[in-house]
Each structure stands twice: as C-alpha cells, then as structure tokens.
Amino acid sequence: MKFVISSSELLSHLLAISRVISTKNTLPILDNFLFKLEGKDLEITASDLETTLTTGLSVENASESGSIALPARILTETLKEFAEQPLTFDINTETMAVVIISENGQFNIVGQKGIDYPKLPELKEEKKTALLMSPEVLLQGIAKTLFATADDELRPVMNGIFMEMFTDKINFVASDAHKLVRYTRTDAKAEAEASFILPKKPASLLKSILPKEENQVSIEFDDKNAFFTLSDFKLVCRLVEGNYPSYNSVIPKDNPHKLNIDRVELYNSLKRVSVFSNQASNLVKLQLTGNQLTVSAQDIDFSISANERLNCQYDGEDMEIGFKSVFLIEILANLSSQEVVVELSDPSRAGILLPVERDNDDEDVLMLLMPMMIGN
C-alpha cells in the first residue's frame, strides 16, 4: 500500500475527526486512525465506539488497496510541524511497518491491522427512517439547543438533543431539567413522525463540521444508531436509548404576566450583578414593579450586594422571582433578538423567554427556565 498526499490537507482532515478520539479508550486500537485506501480514494476514520467520524480525500500515486490503523497522536503531532509538502506513505501490509517520506527525511512507525478496527454498526432495514435536511437547519437546531443539555448520569436521556420529526415541522429539544429549549423549524419535515436522541458528543462534532457544508445532509437512523452523511464526512453514532420526558406538558401554557425588555441590556446587567451573588447558588432576584425591573444579588458570607434598575414594559402583577444567574445569562446569550419577552405566572413556575423578532420566518424558539425557590 502506497500513496502520496499533501501534508496540510491530511492534517486538516485528521484534526477535523481527531476530536472523536477519547482520552480514555477501552480498546487500545481506538487510539488510532483507520486508513482505508481504495483506488485513489483514502478514507480516514476515528472512533470511540459510540461515535465514529469518517472523512474522505483523494491521493496521488496510489498503489494497492488495503487498510491500516495508525497511531493518532504521533501522526497529528508530527504533521502539525510540517510545512506544506507532499508526503509519501509506504506501508508494508505484511509487517505493518509504515515509512513516511518527507522532503528531508523519513519517519518510521508501526501500524495495526485495519481488520482489527471496530466495524461500523448497520441499520436495521425494517426500523430505518431516512430524511434529507438542509445543513443550516441542522446546524441551527444543534447550536441553539446544545447548551441546554444535561450532564446527568442518572438521566441519560437528558444528555442529548431530542430531535422530533413531524410531517410539517422538526423540533430540536434539549433540557437539563432546569432549563429547556425548544427550537422548531417549519421549513424542514419528515415523511412520517419519528424521533431520536442525539448525544452531546456527536452533536458538538456536527456543530463543528456543518458550517462548511453546502449540500443537503442525509440522515438515516433506526432505534439504535444514526448516520449523518455530509459531502466530506460521515458521522455514525449510537443514539441515547429511552424515552424523552414529555416536555410539552411542563411548558406552562398560561402565563399572564409579560415582560418586554432589551436583551443586551438585561444580559449586561445580569453579568454585573451576578458577580455579587452567592457563588454556590448564583441566585439573582428579579423584582417587577410597574414598568421597572430590579435585578439584585447578594452574598451574605462576604457582605456584598448589588442591584440595578432597568426600564422595561411589564404587563402583570408585581412579583419577585429568583433565577440561577448562570442559566439566565446562558439563555440570553443564546437568543439573538434585540428584544425578548419574558412570560411569567408566579415565583414557583417556569419563566418562558421568547425572542420578539425572529431570524427566520420558519423558526420558532422557546426557552424556559425554572426559578429557584426563594423564601418569603
């Protein structure tokens, strides 16, 4: 097996997929990239068993097809130090000895048999669903919701993005039981109702490779795995098994009190005031009276406190509600509209944050935040 490849092109492909490789692998072979040569097409794969990302590129002077697993760390670290130049990979498929010949020298490494590399799962035909989605929809769906996913070993279903497909829309939902985001796109649809829970890691990988994508993304999945096929990449991941909690029932329907406020102003104010909140609880209180919002925080242990008054449009009863400042700040940072509406009902019920103007006519964003129980 032999081929010639541009060092920088190889590096950029390797870096794109190397994020899959986990630092704590159960199988030693997973510390390798799998190189598979067929004619002039080289396919490189990285995997952590749960998620597998494959990229393809074409090489020069290829001879002999075959596959080999090459140590990932050595490869990326040496390639980073090369100036752009052609590299010749000369692989002895018998001994697994690899010689990389550069302009000025040669590097010898030993690979492992490609056949030992874990195989990709296959989709069950009878349970398979397939659809095409525009990369922009998928990217937005992931980008808007990823921050709200949980990190909870006890509730694994919450550690991913719930993609709920209907014949007229697609919902992306994420929640860690304190905050919830529902991002709906009506310009994307499936042929039949279906859903899956995409784990965090493949979601964030997709988030990093999608911006460059120009063609429709093909998504195929069954009850266990999902395949995302892009022009240059193919991502296969194990899905989170289990039922996503019925999130619709916990979104309060009737929120009589509405607060209209400049998003950036509120965000900046929270950033300042939250410095004074207790570091463990991060509690900030929002007090609404007439058309004035008072944001306040205090840390009794250090005798520090802060409050700021903001003008707003408020339509409802006077009330005081407490939120975890980090959550509220995160939500405001993930909304893009200039002005937001905060819908409230009472201090022990969730507050809903909605953008006033939308980026796109086909989208609908709803962010929800559970309050903290502040004593009376």
Partner 1 sequence: MRDNKRQIIHFDLDSFFVSAERLQNSKLVAKPVLIGGTSDRGVVSSCSYEARRFGVHSAMPMKMARRLCPDAIIIRGDMELYSKYSNMVTDIIAEKAPLYEKASIDEHYIDISGMDHFFNSLKWTRELRSSIIKNTGLPVSFGLSVNKTVSKIATGEAKPNGELEVPPGLEKYFLSPLSISKIPMLGHKSYRLLRSLGLTNIHSLSMLPVEIMERLMGKNGIAIWKKANGIDNSPVIHYHERKSISTEKTFDKDSTDIKRLNEILVSMIEKVSFRLRKQQKLTSCITVKIRYSNFDTHSIQKRIPYTSFDHVLIETAKELFKKLYSRRMLIRLIGVRLSHLVQGVQQLDLFEDRPEMAKLYMSMDHIRKRYGKDAVKRAVGVRDMQSPSPHNGSKEKHDPGECFENRVLKGSIYH
Does 278 bind partner 1 (CB under 8 A)? Our answer is: yes
Applying CB under 8 A, which of residues 177, 264, 275, 304 lies at the interface with partner 1? 177
Does 250 bind partner 1 (CB under 8 A)? Our answer is: yes
- Compute the distance between CA of residue 326 and CA of residue 355 in angstroms, rounded to an integer: 19
Answer yes or no: are the C-beta atoms of 1 and 43 closer than 8 Å: no
The piece of 48-56, 234-242, 276-284, 333-341 that touches partner 1 (CB under 8 A) is 276-284
Does 376 bind partner 1 (CB under 8 A)? Our answer is: yes
Picking from 205, 372, 171, 175, the residue whose alpha carbon sits closest to that of residue 285 is 372
3-state secondary structure of 148: helix
The piece of 104-112, 170-178, 235-243, 289-297 that touches partner 1 (CB under 8 A) is 170-178
Does 283 bind partner 1 (CB under 8 A)? Our answer is: yes
Whichever of 156 and 245 has its CB closer to partner 1, that residue is 245
Does 305 bind partner 1 (CB under 8 A)? Our answer is: no
Report, in Å, the least distance between residue 324 CB and partner 1: 6
The piece of 11-19, 63-71, 206-214, 244-252 that touches partner 1 (CB under 8 A) is 244-252
- Compute the distance between CA of residue 313 and CA of residue 301 in angstroms, rounded to an integer: 34
Measured from the Cβ of residue 151, the count of other Cβ atoms closer than 10 Å reads 9
Buried b (16+ CB within 10 A) or exposed e, 156-189: ebbbbbbbbbbeebbbbbbbbebbbbbbbbeebe
Left if phi > 0, otherwise alpha if psi is -120 to 50, otherwise beta: which for 210? alpha
Applying CB under 8 A, which of residues 245, 307, 310, 337 lies at the interface with partner 1? 245
Does 346 bind partner 1 (CB under 8 A)? Our answer is: yes
Does 150 bind partner 1 (CB under 8 A)? Our answer is: no
Question: Binding string, 30-49, against partner 1, x = CB under 8 A?
Answer: --------------------
- Compute the distance between CA of residue 130 and CA of residue 43 in angstroms, rounded to an integer: 24
Whichever of 7 and 175 has its CB closer to partner 1, that residue is 175
Applying CB under 8 A, which of residues 2, 19, 128, 178 lies at the interface with partner 1? 178
- Compute the distance between CA of residue 261 and CA of residue 356 in angstroms, rounded to an integer: 10
Measured from the Cβ of residue 1, the count of other Cβ atoms closer than 10 Å reads 20
Question: Binding string, 351-370, against partner 1, x = CB under 8 A?
Answer: -----------------x-x
The piece of 86-94, 230-238, 254-262, 344-352 that touches partner 1 (CB under 8 A) is 344-352
Residue reference for tokens 């490869």? 75
User: How are strands ordered across the β-sheet holding 304-311?
Assistant: 304-311, 292-299, 283-289, 319-324
Terminus-to-terminus CA distance in the chain, angstroms? 75
Q: How far is Cα of residue 98 from the mean position of the Cα atoms in its chain? A: 36
Report, in Å, the least distance between residue 322 CB and partner 1: 7
Does 324 bind partner 1 (CB under 8 A)? Our answer is: yes
Whichever of 54 and 345 has its CB closer to partner 1, that residue is 345
- Compute the distance between CA of residue 265 and CA of residue 339 in angstroms, rounded to an integer: 9
3-state secondary structure of 375: coil
Applying CB under 8 A, which of residues 34, 46, 75, 180 lies at the interface with partner 1? 180
- The neighbouring-strand residues paired with 342 are 259, 353
Does 349 bind partner 1 (CB under 8 A)? Our answer is: yes
Whichever of 331 and 370 has its CB closer to partner 1, that residue is 370
Applying CB under 8 A, which of residues 350, 352, 353, 365 lies at the interface with partner 1? 350
Burial zone of 2 (CB within 10 Å; 0-12 exposed, 13-18 middle, 19+ buried):
middle
Report, in Å, the least distance between residue 365 CB and partner 1: 17
Does 301 bind partner 1 (CB under 8 A)? Our answer is: yes
Residues that bind partner 1 in the complex, under the rule CB under 8 A: 175, 177-180, 245, 247, 250, 278, 280-281, 283, 300-301, 322, 324, 346, 348-350, 368, 370-376
